[in-house]
Amino acid sequence: MDRAALKALLEAIIYVSEEPITIAQLEKVLADVSKDELRGALEALLEASRAPERGVEIRQVAGGYRMYTKPEHHEAVRRFVRSQKPPLRLSLPALETLAVIAYKQPVTTPEIKAVRGVDPSSALATLLEKGLVVTAGRKQCIGRPILYRTAKEFLIRFGLKDVGELPTLEEFEELARASLGEPEPAPAAGSEPARESREEAAEPGNA
């Protein structure tokens, strides 16, 4: 392997390695390269990465080699990372609660609990914080519990024009059944009420 190819390979390995990679590890993988060659190429690689037009340098740390952005870019990089809208990540309880709200909106905490079998308060707090769910007045019944519905952010994040675009449970069943090769159509018990309530809910949401 020539020097250029060896440098390239070393750069690739350091890039993918999750932890600082040691000389010993490199020697093991590149058994056909002499130690001197390896050290020479590594030195050249580190040297090259320090050039002013490079933004990612390789440094020795904790007995190994690792890539870092340079300190002088610290500010800009941080600004960029902050400006990023990370992909929507939700815990399973939060996702479950969001699903119930999306399909049954507007809906109260006790109603969500009845469906999920678990108190949704903590998940609900997360959803409110992420702006996926908003309050929608109070239900005119004993205790006047708060109603929740999905927010505009929900539609944006899931790429929907309105909640009417949500796949119905029947449509989902069709796909799911086909993928599992289940011969029996599962009883679509819960699907009907969900659909009705959603249509009602869609009206105020669109207003």
Partner 1 sequence: METPPSVQLDVYEGPLDLLLDLIRKQQIDIFDIPLARITQQYLDYLHRMEQLNVEIAGDFILMAATLIYIKSKMLLPPDPFASPDEQLDPRTDLVERLLEHKKFKSAAQMLQQKQILEQATWSRPDTAAFAGEPGELVVTLWDLVKVFREVLARPPEPPALEIKREEFTVAQMMDEVRELLRASDQPVSLLELCRRHPTRRGLIVLFLALLELVRLEAVVALQNELFGPVQLRKHRMFDVVFAPDTATEIDEQYQ
Task: Say if residues 191 and 169 touch (Cβ distance below 8 Å).
Answer: yes
Stretch that binds a copy of itself, among 95-103, 125-133, 183-191, 193-201 (CB under 8 A): 125-133
Stretch that binds a copy of itself, among 17-25, 98-106, 183-191, 196-204 (CB under 8 A): 17-25
Task: Say if residues 2 and 44 touch (Cβ distance below 8 Å).
Answer: no
CA 165/CA 117 separation, integer angstroms: 27
46 binds a copy of itself (CB under 8 A): no
Return the closest-CA partner of residue 104 out of 186, 188, 146, 163: 163
Look up residue 120 and give its two tokens.
């949704």
Among partner 1, a copy of itself, none, partner that 93 touches (CB below 5 to 8 angstroms by kind): partner 1
**Which of positions 131-150 make contact with partner 1 (CB under 8 A)?**
131, 134-135
Among a copy of itself, partner 1, none, partner that 39 touches (CB below 5 to 8 angstroms by kind): none
89 binds a copy of itself (CB under 8 A): no
In the list 55, 110, 190, 204, the residue contacting a copy of itself (rule: CB under 8 A) is 55
Return phi, psi of residue 56, to 5°: -120, 120
Q: How many CB atoms within 10 Å of residue 20? A: 16
76 binds partner 1 (CB under 8 A): no
194 binds a copy of itself (CB under 8 A): no
